[in-house]
Structure 1
Amino acid sequence: MSRSVLRYVEHRITQHPDTDVTFEAECLAYPCGWSAQPSTEGAAVDVECMSHTGRTGHGSFRRVCTSFALVVRTE
């Protein structure tokens, strides 16, 4: 019978320091195909969506926030 030693190391996850969060949106009205210009400013993407709704009457969007994570040991 063999013996094992278990060691647990704590980690933490943070946003990667060399990247920004990117916001995107696309219209869900078929077959519209409109999408907002990706931006690091979420409010700018929201304004584009509201402008699109004003022009077309389309009111449903898929919004995506993309960030890159970095996992490091806490010790």
Structure 2
Amino acid sequence: MGSRTILRYVKHRITQHPDTEVTFEAECLHCKWTATPSTDGAAVDVECMSHTGRSGHAGFRRICTSFAMVVRDE
């Protein structure tokens, strides 16, 4: 008789790494200008609006970076 395999499924979830914060960044689509990275998204938005006021450039790539970890859902 052959051997048997027992499968056990464990539920997991993904969560923000507890020792990190989300970092917001932005870069102008028309020149090489970049905003200062910050954990305050509104501050980055204000920098973008100031850049638009000075340069007339209205397009930006906004980047939100976070670090996550997968943990058992117990």
Q: Where on the TM-score scale, by shorter chain, does this alignment land: which range?
A: over 0.9
Partner of 2:11: 10
1:13 CA drift (Å): 1.1
TM-score w.r.t. length of structure 1 = 0.91
Partner deviation per Cα, 1:14-58 (whole Å, 9 max, x = no partner):
1011001000000001xx100000000000000000000000000
Partner of 1:66: 65
Aligned residues between the structures: 73
Partner of 1:34: 33
Task: State the 4+ residue runs in structure 1 displaced beyond 4 angstroms.
Answer: none
TM-score w.r.t. length of structure 2 = 0.93
The percentage of aligned residue pairs carrying the same residue is 78
- SS of 1:70's partner is strand
Structure 1 residue runs without a partner (length 5+): none
Partner of 1:46: 45
Structure 2 residue runs without a partner (length 5+): none
Structure 2 letter corresponding to 1:40 = T
Structure 1 letter corresponding to 2:5 = S
RMSD over equivalenced CA pairs, Å: 0.9
